[in-house]
Chains A and B, each alone.
Chain A
Amino acid sequence: SALTQPASVSGSPGQSITISCTGTSSDLGSYNLVSWYQQHPPKAPKLIIYEGIKRPSGVSNRFSGSKSGNTASLTISGLQAEDEADYYCCSYAGSNDYWVFGGGTKLTVL
């Protein structure tokens, strides 16, 4: 089953926001293999966090990830207009389901 994300979040420039991603003990809760993607439609997604907390080279340190139990979180600090995008989480879910994405969260910068 897909991971659960809020459909939308919003914040003002300079503020911080957090997007949650809730799974189960069979997927997100069992593995430290959570990744986060930013997508500016209709462009391709971009990896911004992997293995829960790591940032690829070139990704702003305003993006950070964390995990507690069956829930992972993406925090964006110092919101900027360019952060307005869709965000997706993804987790390994074992050798039957392999990888599952969240439904996506639309971030609006007010």
Chain B
Amino acid sequence: VQLVESGGGVVQPGRSLRLSCAASGFTFSDFAMHWVRQAPGKGLEWVAMISYDGSSKSFADSVKGRFTIARDNSKNTLHLQLNRLRTDDTAVYYCARDVYYYGSGNLHYWGQGTPVTVSS
């Protein structure tokens, strides 16, 4: 199982960024996927979840209405669209695979993370 995030970088407040997570080594369409972030020196914060087929999505209150999550099962890829970015969105963003097809929150496999810095 391998999860490889990309798309992070430095962006100004109010701008947008799109993160991607390329999955391999398992049947991507069989599992729910999540994004979790970790601000510098801080703990983990769950961000968003999408079910195996994309029919169910959920978001943390801190990002609701600003971030969207999507998946392309034909390309084994997960995306997180970050809009109206704020300085407190600065963090390493991890994609993680759930244990099940629905979102159980049991995050079995994690990528190495991609850093996002929101700064003027």
Contact = CB atoms under 8 A, between A and B. Distances in A.
Interface of A: 2, 33, 35, 37, 39, 43-47, 50-51, 56, 88, 90-92, 95, 97-104
Max count, chain B CB within 10 A of own CB: residue among A37, A45, A92, A97? A45
29 contacts: A33-B105, A33-B106, A37-B44, A37-B107, A39-B44, A43-B112, A45-B94, A45-B110, A47-B109, A50-B99, A50-B104, A50-B106, A50-B108, A90-B46, A90-B105, A91-B105, A95-B58, A97-B60, A98-B46, A98-B60, A98-B103, A99-B34, A99-B46, A99-B49, A99-B105, A100-B46, A101-B43, A101-B44, A101-B45
Interface residues of B, number: 24
Interface of B: 34, 36, 43-46, 49, 58-61, 94, 99, 103-113
Given A37-B107, A39-B44, A47-B106, 8 more contacts: A33-B105, A43-B112, A44-B112, A47-B108, A97-B60, A98-B46, A99-B105, A102-B43
Contacts of A51: 104, 106
Contacts of A33: 104-106
Nearest to B34: A99
Q: Which 3 residue pairs of A and B lie closest in terms of their CB atoms, listed nearest first?
A: A50-B106, A44-B110, A99-B46
